Structure 1
Amino acid sequence: MEEIHLRSAPLVRVIAQLRFPQLASMADGGVAHALASEMSRDYPLFEKAREINPIIAGSTISQQEQVASPVWRLQTADGTWLVTLERSSLSLEALAYAGRRDFRDRLIQLARVFINRAEPPRFDRFGIRYINRVTDPEILTNLATLVRSEMMAAATLELPEQTTLHHSLLEIQLDQGRHSMLARCGIFPAGTTIDPAIQFQRRISEVGFLT
């Protein structure tokens, strides 16, 4: 399929993730450090963190540190590419997506190094997510001419005078055999989001895909 490059693509983040069973080879962190060493030319920044799970009990929220679930992160010097390695997943994240080929090549290189070091017996799941954000007021005003009406949800409603749309969200999941796609499209007020990992400052249109 021919790839069409947009002059002002609204993509703000692309994330691909490989999931695998917890591996004995990763018990001591050796795989993470070997991966960091071998990929250091492209991802010179390295840090280790610990996974924190929020626990909600009534009106109280507490945090419990999971010491046995470390997270390792590699990053490019400019911060536009991020690699995250956990006990059962490997992710590649792009904040400056330049095209499918560049992203694919980076992901293949990363996966090859990880496979050579960790020797996973299998991968349980592969997912890729595209996040688009539209903030230009002129585009938002004419969004109905750019996006199919089926994906606009209540955003296409003709509202009475002095009535404004606060927010609109549409979520669709499609399954085909072992593959699935999840899409979310919406318009939200400034400073709000449906994904805590993404900071939105103005109204957005977001579409996410998981396979």
Structure 2
Amino acid sequence: MTDSRRVDSSQTGVHLKLEAIVRKHLSTQFERPIADHTRRAFDSIYNKLQHPKLIFDTGCGTGDSTIQLALRHPDAQVIGIDKSIARLSKHPIAEQQDKPKNYELVQAELIDFWRLAVDAKLQLWRHCFFYPNPWPKPGQLQRRWHASAVFPSILRLGGDIELRSNWRIYLEEFQYALRIAGRSSNIQELTQNGAQPISAFEKKYWHSGQRLWQLLADAPDAV
């Protein structure tokens, strides 16, 4: 197995502009038009989004992690979302008798799908972000989820948040943004200890000897 690339960035800590950007997004309305194909995708699985234990696997790629989540939480409904049909088309097809029934994969723009979910007043049980693109250059800050204009929608969806990355600064920034919004979280190093990797990415990172990190944030108290 080939080694996975490590994150290369000139950034050595939380971005100095992060707080101002997060506060701006929290106080303004994001009004980009919703893509038609995402609206159709949302409508096509709307009934399954009514499950009381709803998990979003954000940026699920080939859906490896979506299957793992469905197996680990058989009483939940897991929705894997990715914008790339090329990645989703590589979804591993398990033997029919072994394939969990409690997950769906959706091709959609994440930014739009989340906002549709918020408009529909959906509340997540858990929201998973496994190894998102770190956009490690300092000038790419607002491409990171916690510094994007859609961050308030992530918060409004509620639920426990789990984020994994091989770049600790990404988690530290996400934690900082959550703190600004009044939510607490914890960061810890992930250790394999015989556990099944959540995705092919995680497996490659472990085989490469990279340090992996996990952020966990409990769901906000119900109002």
TM-score with structure 2 setting the length: 0.32
Q: Which has the higher contact order (CA 8 A, sep 6+)?
A: 2
Which of structures 1 and 2 has the bigger CA Rg? 1
| TM value normalised by structure 1 | 0.33
Higher helix share: 2
Higher strand share: 1
